[in-house]
Structure 1
Amino acid sequence: MNQPQDSEAYKAKKRFFDSLMTIYGRKTVLEALQEKAVSIYRLHLANSNKRAEILDQIIELAKLKGADIIYHERNALSRISKNASQDQGVAADLQLPGYQTYEQFLATPPKNNYRLLALDGITNPQNLGMIIRSACAGNIDGILLPLKGAAQIDPLVIKASAGTLFRAPILRCQNLVDALKDFSRHGASLCALSSHAHHNLSGFRPEGASIYVLGNETHGVSDPVFQLCTEKIKIPMNNGVESLNVAVTAALIAFRDVM
């Protein structure tokens, strides 16, 4: 028996909600709303919140940006924030121009020779934030961020990104291996950063689309992802240094062609 097809209205609604980034925490939400480029769809507040100046500021800014303001029981809000211990009774659904699924990116890539960073098991929030900052400032068209097995967007990441998260091209995927296979089918070169590679980053000049995979801070690129990569490159080291911090590596890739 054939499964019923989703209606176009349902698909459009799903695409819209997939495009929202939910953040939490009073200071984090306030700082996001103070960014002119940030649009907010909904502000979520716990109805148990006591009056506070920062809450008044958040509510005022949310109203100015035309957001829906919804009050919840505390346990309902924690399901939205997914972090009851740190949300401080506040969460917000943001509409950000660069935040999308990787499928949306593939459907309308910004150019044929796009360059992406793929994050394979990056678990340190500070590293993630600094990677986002470098990618946003440099020559990178997207950051492929898995929803599992990696650090997720939280106040520490936002702080380490120095607010660039709200302007950065974040491409979400459920599973990095599946996403990379999809990109490969669309002609992108998959490149793993490895200290054991024979070719240097400076000499790698792909003509088409390329994805640079950055591995876990301790273990590097995972085996399943490494096997998918047709290119392996390294950054030469001096004085017996074996590797760089992953955020530094991301910066070198991001600014390789703009210095």
Structure 2
Amino acid sequence: MEVLFGLHPVEEAIRSGARPLESVVVSRERRDERLERLIALCRAAGVSVTTESREQMTKLARTDQHQGILAIVKERAFLSVEDLLKRPAGHEGNRFFLACDGIEDPHNLGALLRTADAAGVDGVILPERRAVGITGTVAKTSAGASEHVRIARVTNLVRALEVMKKNNVWVVGLDERGSPDYMDFDFKTDCVLVLGREGAGLHDLVKKTCDHLLRIPMAGMVSSLNVSVAGAVVMYESVRQRRQPAAPTPHPVKKKLKGLGS
């Protein structure tokens, strides 16, 4: 079992129905309209609600940032890369995936998952080792978006990217020494955006696996953006490009026919 804490993560876990909730625990010391609405949502979903002291809840959540509510949930069942590549029913158009190469800060991963959900990303690939998992802090930072995003966890990121390539998905890495600028890349195709570690960037093998390395131009003295900000910038450039209407097909100009009497 896992512990989710915070109003948004618990609410989204209930709404998504992605995994069973064993129970929801609320603080005896907190009573307000927002918490009461969430308790009513639990009861409507058939989820049992119990009360504990704030001190006991802090021990269960291992943090005092629980906002007076936490949920005991079944461990998440992650997808495979092959699962991500299967189109959900009714899904049309080009796909956009996100891959994280060794991100260690749970706040960065949570922010990326929140943006991925907002931008309609089709799936996220996370490595099992040397990277943060989907912790309670990640769920809280994502404002519950981690319960909605399709996530695959893989033992070997390079191998997972190679599977993507074999399925005609372009692998696009973000690197401060890359070329071209991210705005000059055509995202109107199936692609996966790969983001590197905080500070160190992409691993060498991951970088070599990429079909393209893009950069975000920097006008100031700092050479790069925080990884969650950089990822958001590129994800929404992809959204912008995909929402542009296709250029209209020009109609052929009808020439006046010449003949007798003209």
Q: Does the TM-score normalized on the shorter chain lie above 0.5?
A: yes
- Partner amino acid for 1:34? E
Match of 1:37 among 6, 15, 35: 15
Distance 1:104 1:183 in 2: 11
Residue matched to 1:15: none
* Unpaired segments ≥5 residues, structure 1: 1-21, 70-83
1:163, distance to aligned residue in structure 2 (A) = 1.8
Moved over 6 A (4+): 57-63, 87-90
What CA deviation, in whole Å up to 9, does each residue of 1:56-115 have, x standing for no partner?
A: x9999767535699xxxxxxxxxxxxxx8839997312779xx63322122336445211
Distance 1:258 1:52 in 2: 41
Distance 2:22 2:39 in 1: 8
Distance 2:143 2:8 in 1: 11
1:180, distance to aligned residue in structure 2 (A) = 0.7
Residue matched to 2:134: 153
Distance 1:256 1:206 in 2: 8
Q: Is the 8 A contact 1:125 1:156 kept in 2?
A: yes
Residue matched to 1:178: 159
Please report the TM-score for the alignment, with normalisation by the length of structure 1: 0.69
Residue matched to 1:104: 83
1:228, distance to aligned residue in structure 2 (A) = 0.6
Q: Is the 8 A contact 2:10 2:71 kept in 1?
A: no
Q: Which moved more, 1:103-112 or 1:215-224?
A: 103-112
Distance 1:141 1:107 in 2: 10
Alignment of 1:96-245 (within 5 A): 100-108=79-87, 110-111=91-92, 113-245=94-226
Q: Which moved more, 1:249-258 or 1:210-219?
A: 249-258
Distance 2:100 2:94 in 1: 19
Structure with higher strand content: 1
Q: Is the 8 A contact 1:101 1:171 kept in 2?
A: yes
Please report the TM-score for the alignment, with normalisation by the length of structure 2: 0.69
* Unpaired segments ≥5 residues, structure 2: 30-35, 50-59, 241-262
Percentage identity across aligned positions? 28
Q: Is the 8 A contact 1:139 1:257 kept in 2?
A: no
Q: Is the 8 A contact 1:121 1:216 kept in 2?
A: yes
- CA RMSD after TM alignment: 3.6
What CA deviation, in whole Å up to 9, does each residue of 1:20-71 have, x standing for no partner?
A: xx6315x35x7544335232425279xxx9x9759xx9999767535699xx
Bigger radius of gyration:
2
Residue matched to 2:62: 86
1:241, distance to aligned residue in structure 2 (A) = 2.3
Distance change in 2, residues 1:67/1:173 (3 Å): farther
Distance change in 2, residues 1:163/1:41 (3 Å): closer
1:230, distance to aligned residue in structure 2 (A) = 1.5
1:253, distance to aligned residue in structure 2 (A) = 1.3
Distance 1:236 1:32 in 2: 35
Q: Which moved more, 1:199-208 or 1:100-109?
A: 100-109
Does residue 65 (structure 1) correspond to residue 20 (structure 2)? The answer is no
1:203, distance to aligned residue in structure 2 (A) = 0.8
- Partner amino acid for 1:116? F
Distance change in 2, residues 1:86/1:103 (3 Å): farther
Number of aligned residue pairs: 217
- Partner amino acid for 1:192? G
Q: Is the 8 A contact 2:115 2:232 kept in 1?
A: yes
Residue matched to 1:24: 3
State the SS of the aligned residue for 1:34.
Answer: helix
State the SS of the aligned residue for 1:144.
Answer: strand
